Structure 1
Amino acid sequence: MSTPNAGGLVAGERCDGETPVNAGLVDVLLATFNGAKYLVAQLESILSQTHQNFRILVSDDGSSDTTMEILHQYRARLGERLILVPNPSAGKGVVRNFENLMVASLNDGLAQWAVFSDQDDVWLPEKIATTLGEMQRIEGEDGRGIPCLVHSDLVVVDEGLSVLSRSFARYQKMPPENCSPLSLLSVNQVTGCTMMVNRALLRMALPLPPETIMHDWWCALVSGSGRRSFIDAPLILYRQHGANQVGAKDRGLKTRLLRMCTDAPGVVRRVKALGHATYLQAQALQQRLREQKADGAYVSEYLSWRSQPLWLRLAGYRHYYVGPELDRLSRCLLWLQ
């Protein structure tokens, strides 16, 4: 088994696609930034998993609180099971922080699968085991060479872990059965902190293009060329505390109208900006699929439709946009190239 070098790097590069040395190993990719308040609870929930064949790879984005002190304490306790991965892009944000971990796991070559972890949630004990079981099912006999992704529902909780909603998918009014490679081009329905990916997906996803909106969204898009499965059961307590990078937002009509009444210019500006970003991200995906000689016909269809005049897009926007009707219509009216 490879070991971290003096600087904490994962050594033993194996980019040849061969079966990893430790075939049952899962890498937990934990990105941190000023997360000391909740980090211990997250780490303890990871350590309490029923599936114990894992390593924790941690990349910090330049924390100024006691995050690094906590990590060094756990490093002393766990030894090689917790690896501090140096971050050459510290301060560049969550996307590049997770990319650093993805590269480290892929290059190391020991783990066949990787799961993504935020710093402020609580994992239920069966989280890794359940996700891994589903991953192995969809990989089947031939799936290790195909990009595969598994994700699950979450319990939405407040800062003190009191339940706000038993189902994040329902809370967001995004039924998982409506999630498809086409719909993911506009709306990310894959929550990164529930996600497991295999090495084939890491290879196709990396490097993350500059147009990547979020690392988990990009991985979800890449899974469109392979296999993706949703576990319709919550495996994580998804903590909401006001400083979440993304978080769970109330998408009810009353709340949406209130936002429009109080900050209409800001809402319109953000919707337009997201529309432009999704178009660029879809173009980046189209390019990546061409490079990999994978089928990208649905991406071309989507980009072509986005380029049509408004009156033509109005006739078919429900096919391309999912979610609450107000969201769908606002995208159609405000999303240009």
Structure 2
Amino acid sequence: MSPAAPDVAVLLCTFNGGRYLQEQLESLSRQTHPRWTLYPADDGSSDATLSILEQWSPAGPAVVKPVRTGPGRGHAANFLSLLCAQDVCGDYFAYADQDDVWDADKLARALQRLTAVPASLPALYCARTRSIDSHGEVCGESPLFSRPPAFANALLQNIGGGNTMLMNAAARELLLAAGPVDVVSHDWWTYLLVTGAGGEVIYDPQPCLSYRQHGDNAVGDARGLGARLRRYRGFLRGRNAGWYERNLSALRANIELLTPRNRELLQQFEKLRCSHLPGRIGALRASGVYAQTTSGQLGLYAATLLKKI
């Protein structure tokens, strides 16, 4: 007898997503991996979102749980609250946005990679996305990253959108131990904690879903000159420094979850942010933190000089 297929807990967080939600749900129904359970959490929608969720029934053996009420503090808090709920069960756990369209083999591809990792090791799969406009027309792909995933990179940036992520039970237990922390984004926090604890991150250069771009995106497209200019303006205004501080506060509160080497790296990163210029430069060299792209690495040097990290 062949072993049962792993059960994937799909964590769907919604807020006024009725315009595109049905298409996303239909893409879930088309998954070639049939065994999954949908856990929806709504953050107070005033449109048709709730009625769509309550009336929808998937094809095949998939299960849909009743819609629960989110904490009402934004998408990151909603996702982490759902992930940390004790009654959310599965062998693997996937974040799902309300307005994407998943490729039919999204879960199957991720599971193929993750099941090769020892179950005791926290492991996370993430991938690129293709961008589509409000009419479903393809308009590009997310940046291709070539440097390896690592805590030294995660301190600076996130490499995978939460909508692409699938984690094993060991990674979920790690996030459960940290609890629903106050961070900028649930996906960046997931990347930080899994790498910080010595887990494995698998980055797939092949897109696994269509990421819809429209005026109500919680997080927009990272492609193009406009996106780079927005990031640069945010950097000059100190936005990134505020993001880092929230992440670091959550890491400090969960320092026991990090490996000894990554605790040292975290201390160097703190020096990189707070020391006088010679100390910042020394901490940058000692820490080994890095960005994924040449422009990002140049931005790191500039941020170090200007004390904007």
Instruction: Tell me the TM-score range normalised by the shorter chain.
Output: 0.7 to 0.9
Asked if residue 40 in structure 1 is aligned to residue 22 in structure 2, the reply is yes
- SS state at 1:108 partner: coil
Asked if residue 152 in structure 1 is aligned to residue 127 in structure 2, the reply is yes
Structure 1 residue 321: Cα displacement: 4.1
Match of 2:154 in 1: 184
Q: How does 1:145-294 map to 2 (within 5 A)?
A: 145-165=120-140, 167-170=141-144, 175-206=145-176, 207-210=179-182, 212-224=183-195, 225=197, 226-252=199-225, 256=228, 268-269=236-237, 272-290=238-256, 292=257, 294=259
CA distance in 1, matches of 2:290, 2:252: 19
CA 1:179 to 1:241, structure 2 compared with 1: closer, same or farther past 3 Å?
A: same
Q: Normalising by the residue count of structure 2, what TM-score does the alignment of the two structures yield?
A: 0.85
Letter of the structure 2 residue corresponding to residue 146 of structure 1: L
Q: Which moved more, 1:232-241 or 1:21-30?
A: 21-30
Match of 2:91 in 1: 112
Structure 1 residue 232: Cα displacement: 1.6
Match of 1:7 in 2: none
CA 1:22 to 1:96, structure 2 compared with 1: closer, same or farther past 3 Å?
A: farther
CA distance in 1, matches of 2:258, 2:227: 44
Contact kept? 1:176, 1:189, Cα under 8 Å:
no
CA 1:57 to 1:22, structure 2 compared with 1: closer, same or farther past 3 Å?
A: farther
CA distance in 1, matches of 2:252, 2:258: 10
- Given candidates 71, 74, 77, the residue that maps to 2:53 is 71
CA distance in 2, matches of 1:314, 1:72: 55
Deviation digits for residues 49-100 of structure 1, max 9, x if unmatched?
Answer: 10010011100000000000101111598897111242252x2111121123
Match of 2:84 in 1: 103
Structure 1 residue 178: Cα displacement: 4.8
Structure 1 residue 245: Cα displacement: 0.8
CA distance in 2, matches of 1:297, 1:144: 27
CA distance in 1, matches of 2:133, 2:89: 36
CA 1:122 to 1:259, structure 2 compared with 1: closer, same or farther past 3 Å?
A: closer
Contact kept? 1:279, 1:303, Cα under 8 Å:
no
CA distance in 2, matches of 1:98, 1:257: 29
Contact kept? 1:169, 1:176, Cα under 8 Å:
no
CA distance in 2, matches of 1:300, 1:23: 42
CA distance in 2, matches of 1:330, 1:247: 24
Unmatched tracts of structure 2, length 5 or more = none
Q: Aligned pairs, how many?
A: 296
CA distance in 2, matches of 1:209, 1:305: 24
Contact kept? 2:174, 2:194, Cα under 8 Å:
no
Deviation digits for residues 131-164 of structure 1, max 9, x if unmatched?
Answer: 0111111x2xxx3222210111111222222222
CA distance in 1, matches of 2:230, 2:218: 22
Contact kept? 1:157, 1:164, Cα under 8 Å:
yes
Unmatched tracts of structure 1, length 5 or more = 1-20
- Given candidates 264, 267, 292, the residue that maps to 1:300 is 267
Contact kept? 1:275, 1:334, Cα under 8 Å:
no
Letter of the structure 1 residue corresponding to residue 93 of structure 2: A
Match of 1:313 in 2: 280
- SS state at 1:169 partner: coil
CA distance in 1, matches of 2:4, 2:281: 52
Deviation digits for residues 1-46 of structure 1, max 9, x if unmatched?
Answer: xxxxxxxxxxxxxxxxxxxx97610011100000001000000001
